[in-house]
Amino acid sequence: MSVLFASFLVCHLSLMPTHALYLSVMEVTDKGNTTHISVKVFQNDLQTAVCDFAGLPATGLDEFISHNRPSVDRYFQQHLKLMADGAPMQLTLQQIEAVGDSYWVTFDGKSTNWTRLNIHADYLMEIFPTQENIVTVTDAHGSRKYCRLKINEAGCETIFLM
């Protein structure tokens, strides 16, 4: 009986996801002429999403970024959109840095001291329906607002009073 239970347990655990929490953190900061965006995601989640998006075979995590930077950029261009005071912001990929089991993906966008920022960030949600993206927005004066984005609520608007 214990062998049967152990076999069941091993099979059941092998089918579970690699982690139970699907969460990313995004920081958006107005730096005057530039808006700086940093996104922290689990490495394996980003690899799964980008490979699915671009039709790429899975590679080891170590070489994933060096071989797939353009695909990562295209993926985020489709799944991360910002509008500052009603104008679309073009995001430029700056860096992808591996830190522990996560990547920090950073972008810059040209802007001028916005007071209203609309964010649509549905990255990873097409693969992981329980994905949540937690956003911190800091304006040029240091005021902060927070958003929690989910699959049915992947956009938010922050308004800062001057």
pLDDT at 19: 64
Q: Is residue 113 part of a domain?
A: yes
Give φ, ψ of 142 to 5 degrees: 90, 0
Per the domain annotation, does 2 fall within a domain? no
pLDDT at 90: 96
Question: pTM of the predicted model, to two decimals?
Answer: 0.84
* Count of structural domains, the chain: 1
Residues 79-124 pLDDT 10s: 999 999 999 999 999 999 999 999 999 999 998 788 999 999 999 9
Say if CB 130 and CB 124 are below 8 A apart: no
**92 falls within a domain:** yes
* pLDDT beneath 50, residues of the chain: 1-17, 162
Q: Give dist(CA 160, CA 156) in Å, integer.
A: 13
In a domain, 77, yes or no: yes
Domain hosting 128: range is: 19-159
Q: What is the pLDDT of residue 2?
A: 47
Which pLDDT does position 81 carry in this prediction? 96
> Residue 161: its pLDDT value, please?
67
pLDDT given for residue 134 in this prediction = 96
How far apart CA 120 and CA 158 sit, in angstroms, is: 12
Quote the strand ranges of 44-101, DSSP E: 80-84, 87-89, 91-99
Distance CA 125, CA 63 (A): 24
Is residue 1 situated within a structural domain? no
In a domain, 39, yes or no: yes
Indicate whether 6 belongs to any domain: no
Residue-level pLDDT at 6: 38
Asked whether residue 25 is assigned to any structural domain, the reply reads yes
